[in-house]
Amino acid sequence: MSFKKVTTGNHAVSYAVWSSRVQIISAYPITPQTQIVELLSEIVAEGKLQAKFITVESEHSAMAACIGASATGARAFTATSAQGLALMHEMLHWAAGARLPIVMANVNRAMAPPWSVWTDQNDSLSQLTTGWMQIYNESNQEVYDSVIIGYKVAEQVHLPLMTVLDAFILSHTSEPVEIHTQEEVDEYLPPYDPGEYYTIKTEDPRGYGLLTMPSDYYEFRYKVQRAHERAIEVFKKEFKNFEEVFGRKHWFFEEFMMDDADYVIVTSGSLSSDVKYAVAKLRKEKGLKVGVLKMRVVRPYPFEEVRKVLGDRKKIAVIDRNIGFGYHGVFYEELKSALYPLEKRPPVFGYIIGIGGRDVTPADIEDIIDDMLKRDEMTEIIWKGVRL
Amino acid sequence: MSEKKTRRIWDVPDDENFYYGHTACQGCGGALAMRLALKALGTDVAVTIPACCWTIIAGGFPGHALKVPVFHTAFETAAIVAAGIKGGLEVTGRKSTISLAWAGDGGTFDIGLQALSGAAERGEDIIYAVYDNEAYMNTGIQRSSATPPGAWTTTTPAKRPNPRPKKNLMEIMAAHKVPYAATATPAYPEDLIRKFRKAKEMAGQGLRFIHILAPCPPGWKMASDYSVHSARLAVESRVFPLYEIEDGGRKYTINYWPKGIPIEEYLKIQGRFRHLFKPGGEKWLEAFKEFVEENWNQLVEKHKLTHGTTDNIPRGYYK
């Protein structure tokens, strides 16, 4: 039987990794991720999880260790944040290019300088083109579930997956999380079987990742992209399977009060809760037909699904807790791009808020909705709450 | 005579785990070293190769010239990927397989030193071999911290040759208290094979490190048939002594007492040292000799500290 446990986002990750029967864990400490691997090292030391824990000397090596282990057919996990993720960058490409289904938790933390340990999404969004799948989470329950779904999907499409949780707001905040028994998780997530994919075997000696001429390299890249496209279908199947086993619904995004919404706020991560609160309030107080679309899976990008739910709305506001310097907020820019093929598409407004962990309140969201209602012409990004 | 010949055949296995179809340059010391290393280790070996000449030598897609699996990885990750592979093999029930990291001097002395240090200090159960050709040869002969003093490279031209002594990586490994560190060259195949066998037998004890001097005819600017000859001269002139450090950096053993031939014999066959013998080159020649002298004297002292004497060092054994 599953049970409810009041736990932090970080420990929700650790419990999910434990239940996923991960075989290799390699990590390097960084605030605010550290608790994930602290708890895991205890779980491994107590023999509750049959895994090898490699305490490396850098995040670059943490990812490299996972790559080596995964290449032999072992299930591997690491966790990091901000600077650590940036240091891993080279190996993120390697993991995806080598088609290794590693799952990693990244705790969203602002990049330095100046130093910050608080949340924003620039670290993980800087890695969108590495070939990793990415899931964003609003609650600790979503965090827990995303690890288990993550392995299930990653191992079918042979791509690595990053699950993303906000620094402190999720990582260090306790919420009730439904934790499942090993039997339940085993029912959903079988041991890793590389299937037709080659893994390191001395009885079948092959070269992995060797020098490839322009005559062949192109197709390797094509296949990574095809795997992402296939992952859309695999996600759909696995969301359904997950619901059957665990009774909780997941999708590429969550729709909140969307049925008759003329106006939609597109959001992600923990600030979605503030957005939902503000939207519910405005509906109740002013009868405003506004809804929320909370993005969860952003790689692969669910183009069709997003177009279907957003195409015929009146206006859309995208809230970005990140900034793609010299351009727009990343979610804003991607959404506009996704809607572009539609013949008739709503105007989309991009708001930047909460960077570096600046508090976001429901009142801020109400301001944004007000601002959106006043605008007709699309514009470049709008900064919310800058103090100069 | 016949006795020696018999021993030589007996010590070097006939097995070839390195096939034709590789793309090494003629006379490549790194290729010779791999051939010998795999004779010693057999085929239950998973090899990790970072960016280095061997990225090319093993063969381009879809070719693969080794009878063992090779995982190619990023420049600075040989030691840790090998450790990850070892961990993966362990947890998937293949404990006997040897994990071998095989890297050049750039990937070991320079960019890969952090991962190597971490793996050595943690006692990762791998063999780490560096085939040291004393510069970044794959990118076209640029200086590394393994480049000897006075040497020409494309980034240390003859007018301003490499100003610093070669980094003493064996001492760095000894300071990590690795169970085994040894030097070897393909010019002494039995010695090299013995050392890899020893490293294999020490499985489970931590990181075993083997430093191989791998002559590079294009990079050292010499004829390709000088490869083995130059490595032999490096040993005989004490430029590259053959020795082992065991017991967590406590026990030093010189494996062979060099004849002590003039260092010039080693330097003169290589174009990269040509300027040492031209006007103005004397100070570089001196610097090189001083570097060799100092290393050798320290090594002899350490051997004495371990063994109390130098009389036990074989002389002429390998002739």
Measured CB to CB, residues of chain A less than 8 Å from chain B are: 23-24, 26, 50-52, 54-58, 60-61, 64-74, 76, 90-91, 94, 200-202, 204-213, 216
Gap from A95 CA to chain B (nearest CA, Å): 10
Name which of B56, B64, B94 is nearest A206 (Cβ-Cβ): B64
- Tell me what pLDDT residue A195 has: 87
Mutate one of B77, B90, B99, B176 to test the A interface: name it (highest A CB count within 10 A). B77
* 3 state SS of B45: strand
**CA of A23: which chain B residue's CA is closest?**
B91
The verdict on a CB contact (< 8 Å) between B63 and A204 is no
* Mean pLDDT to the nearest integer, B95-119: 98
The verdict on a CB contact (< 8 Å) between A65 and B72 is no
- Tell me what pLDDT residue B12 has: 86
Chain A and chain B share a number of CB contacts under 8 A equal to 159
Sheet holding A290-295: strands in order across?
A253-256, A290-295, A263-268, A315-320, A348-352, A382-383
Band (B319; pLDDT cuts 50, 70, 90): very low
Chain B contacts of A54, Cβ < 8 Å? 83-84, 87, 122, 124
Gap from B198 CA to chain A (nearest CA, Å): 21
- Tell me what pLDDT residue A350 has: 98
* Mean pLDDT to the nearest integer, B135-145: 97
For residue B186, count CB atoms less than 10 angstroms from its CB and return exposed for 0-12, middle for 13-18, buried for 19 or more.
buried
Gap from A71 CA to chain B (nearest CA, Å): 7
Q: Where are the beta strands (DSSP E) in A262-373?
A: 263-268, 290-295, 297-299, 315-320, 348-352
Work out the number of other CB atoms within 10 angstroms of the CB of residue B243: 21
CB-based contacts of A62, cutoff 8 Å, min separation 6: A26, A27, A28, A54, A56, A78, A80, A84, A88
Task: End-to-end CA distance of chain A: give it in Å, rounded.
Answer: 54
Name the residue ranges covered by the structural domains of chain B: 2-307
Gap from B1 CA to chain A (nearest CA, Å): 39
Chain A contacts of B115, Cβ < 8 Å? 57-58, 60-61, 64
For domain B2-307, the CATH architecture is: 3-Layer(aba) Sandwich (3.40)
The verdict on a CB contact (< 8 Å) between A200 and B117 is no
| Interchain CB contact of B47 with A (< 8 Å) | no
Q: Which helix (H) or strand (E) holds A134?
A: strand A133-136
Gap from B219 CA to chain A (nearest CA, Å): 22
Residues of B numbered 253-292 whose beta carbons fall under 8 angstroms of chain A's beta carbons: which are they?
A: none
**CA of A26: which chain B residue's CA is closest?**
B84
Q: What angle do CA B46, B199, B22 make, to 5 degrees?
A: 45
Reported as a single tens digit per residue, the pLDDT across B180-226 is 999 999 999 999 999 999 999 999 999 999 999 999 999 999 999 99
Find the largest Cα–Cα distance for chain A.
70
**B68 pLDDT higher than 50:** yes
Rounded-to-integer distance, Cα B168 and Cα A369, Å:
65
Mutate one of B49, B91, B98, B176 to test the A interface: name it (highest A CB count within 10 A). B91
Domains defined along chain A, listed by start: 3-246 (3.40.50.970), 253-383 (3.40.50.920)
Band (B114; pLDDT cuts 50, 70, 90): very high
- Tell me what pLDDT residue B10 has: 60
* Mean pLDDT to the nearest integer, B61-73: 96
- Cα–Cα distances (Å) from A327 to A83, A123, A384, A385, B140, in that order, read 22, 16, 16, 19, 39
* 3 state SS of A40: helix
Gap from B127 CA to chain A (nearest CA, Å): 15
Work out the number of other CB atoms within 10 angstroms of the CB of residue A119: 29
Band (B9; pLDDT cuts 50, 70, 90): low
The verdict on a CB contact (< 8 Å) between B69 and A206 is yes
Q: Give, for all 388 residues of chain A, the pLDDT tens digit.
A: 799 999 999 999 999 999 999 999 999 999 999 999 999 999 999 999 999 999 999 999 999 999 999 999 999 999 999 999 999 999 999 999 999 999 999 999 999 999 999 999 999 999 999 999 999 999 999 999 999 999 999 999 999 999 999 999 999 999 999 999 999 999 999 999 998 899 999 999 999 999 999 999 999 999 999 999 999 999 999 999 999 999 999 999 999 999 999 999 999 999 999 999 999 999 999 999 999 999 999 999 999 999 999 999 999 999 999 999 999 999 999 999 999 999 999 999 999 999 999 999 999 999 999 999 999 999 999 999 999 9
Gap from A141 CA to chain B (nearest CA, Å): 29
| Interchain CB contact of B48 with A (< 8 Å) | yes
Name which of A23, A57, A200 is nearest B85 (Cβ-Cβ): A200
